[in-house]
Structure 1
Amino acid sequence: MGAGAKHRLVFVDRLLTTLVHLRHATTHDVLACWSGVDRSTITRAIAEVRPLLAERGCTVSPGVRLRTLAEVVDHLGAGGKTGIIDGTEIRVRRPAAGRKDRDRFISGKNKQNAVKAMVVTDGDGRVLFCSPAKPGSCADITHARRLGLVELLADGPAVEILADAGHQGLGAQTGGRVITPPHRKFKKNAPDWYEEAYERQRKAHSSRRIRVEHGIAHLKNWRALARHLGRREHMSDTVQAVAGLLSHQQTADLASARQM
């Protein structure tokens, strides 16, 4: 305890530096000039504070935070609320040539180097959970399975989860608790009555699920998630730190609106 080089920035300054870096993607060189310290000091400060922010979890009420997917499922079940899940991709730098896992970061959807995270919101679009980042080649349904969503819904409380077509198949594995858009029965020469019914059901589902897109848009307003130019190893801490900060802001805004 107490060993190592002493900090040239107090904790409040290190915290503010990390917040500016996450919110505006300000480079370490610029932050070092503002603070009057060396670039390595800023790098060390962000590396220490960012994991602390990621461990806080998402705030749902004053003093109550959700840190795991299991806690999110229990929270939704206890309140009888509907959850919405979706995957989001964040562009990252291309891995160096010769790396054996270079192709894992290529997204088959957007044809770009990216990492992927699963976001869970409630019916109002409030962020409840953001998973650690996975390489962009990982499918949404595979990511959800690896996080244990199927087991949590099959053995946990009765919770309704809305998802997009990329999660089709989870409904059968969770007893119908994951609701996805309807399957298209006719690929060619569909009757007019079927087209009308299909579009009506698809739009109804999309209008309920659109809240998670709004939540993801608020996450992407933080420039660190618009396009990440740093190390890919830090993406999990970065995305979870931003999700925790955003959820805290959403909870504070909701409390202020109720008091007015």
Structure 2
Amino acid sequence: MVGNASRAAIVRNRRITGLSADVIAELVAELGPLWHERHQAKVASRPRKRAVGAGAKHRLVFVDRLLATLVHLRHGATHDVLACWFDVDRSTITRAIGEVRPLLAERGCTVSPGVRLRTLTEVVDHLGASGKTGIIDGTEIRVRRPAAGRQDRDKFISGKSKQNAVKTMVLTDADGRMLFCSPARPGSCADITHARQLGLASLLANGPAMEILADAGYQGLGAQTGGRVVTPPHRKSNKNAPDWYEEVHERQRKAHSSRRIRVEHGIAHLKNWRALARHLGRREHMSDIVQAVAGLLSLQQTADLTSARQM
């Protein structure tokens, strides 16, 4: 395991984990007891031939497990590299990341100190109560191609990028702050289909009045949600359109694009975490990875905003 000096250097340097020291301390205080409780429950639930507490002890304490997971998510470092860095076996790192990553994914997105959004229903209620504008967009993450002969092998091929990918729906506010990231779906799933499967149309149709900005991939949701989803304007004339119509249409399209550009910025911040740039591991872990990174990003955004207000 790493020494105290190395551990302090990892915590102190924000470039290594993408998080400030205060945020890491908050994660340790919150997740440490939860991890210990789940570990003890797992140990007590299986048949035993010796007393609880007997046998080999952990060489990797929880703080190091959390730091290894953060470095893996931030820089895409392989388990072999992390095992050498923390001076443990590769299987120890794999097990540690597999235990910590779901805890991070379950935290949800932090919108203010003590307030988190874990489900799409909570996000819709938050936007309705605050009167803020939301912005949605889909983003793709490249993954390995399924093995030959596997059922539904082609469903991961994206119709947009023509590559094997998974897709997630990102929802931010008008300032680009992360509010929600959906579980991952195969890349062949259309943006509007994904939104409907998540129940967004029914939540907005039966929910409070609000405005959700979206791109052309979501055209059709506006009619289903009573105009709550706003998409780029349709072309009313496709043949022999006068010059003034082309100018008006282009101006309206650019105005809409300018309003929803913040969600692109939010997605760019997500992709700064190398685990989401291209994933070479198991596709089954992508939902936890996406939601874990979104939760960490929103927590740091909230901490930075709170610190700026106090200055």
Cα distance between partner residues in 2 of 1:8 and 1:183? 61
Higher relative contact order (CA 8 A, sep 6+): 1
Cα distance between partner residues in 2 of 1:15 and 1:35? 12
1:159 positional shift: 1.3
1:186 positional shift: 2.1
1:256 aligns with 2:307: yes
Q: Which residues in structure 2 correspond to 1:177-188 (within 5 Å)?
A: 177-188=228-239
1:192 positional shift: 0.4
1:6 positional shift: 4.7
SS across alignment from 1:59: strand
- In structure 1, the partner of 2:23 is none
Q: Please give the root-mean-square deviation of Cα atoms over the aligned residues, in Å.
A: 1.0
SS across alignment from 1:108: coil
SS across alignment from 1:159: coil
- Which amino acid letter does the alignment assign opposite residue 78 of structure 2? T
Cα distance between partner residues in 2 of 1:190 and 1:86? 30
- In structure 2, the partner of 1:108 is 159
- In structure 1, the partner of 2:188 is 137
Q: Structure 2, unaligned stretches of length 5 or more? A: 1-40, 47-55
Q: Which residues in structure 2 correspond to 1:1-260 (within 5 Å)?
A: 1=41, 2-3=43-44, 6-260=57-311
Q: What TM-score do the two structures reach when normalised by structure 1? A: 0.98
1:185 positional shift: 1.7
Q: Percent identity?
A: 87
SS across alignment from 1:60: strand
- Which amino acid letter does the alignment assign opposite residue 95 of structure 1? P
SS across alignment from 1:98: coil
- Which amino acid letter does the alignment assign opposite residue 201 of structure 1? Q
Q: What TM-score do the two structures reach when normalised by structure 2? A: 0.82
- Which amino acid letter does the alignment assign opposite residue 186 of structure 2? P
1:61 positional shift: 0.3
- Which amino acid letter does the alignment assign opposite residue 220 of structure 2? G
Q: 1:254 to 1:111 in 2, by over 3 A?
A: same
Aligned residues: 260
Cα distance between partner residues in 1 of 2:271 and 2:235? 32
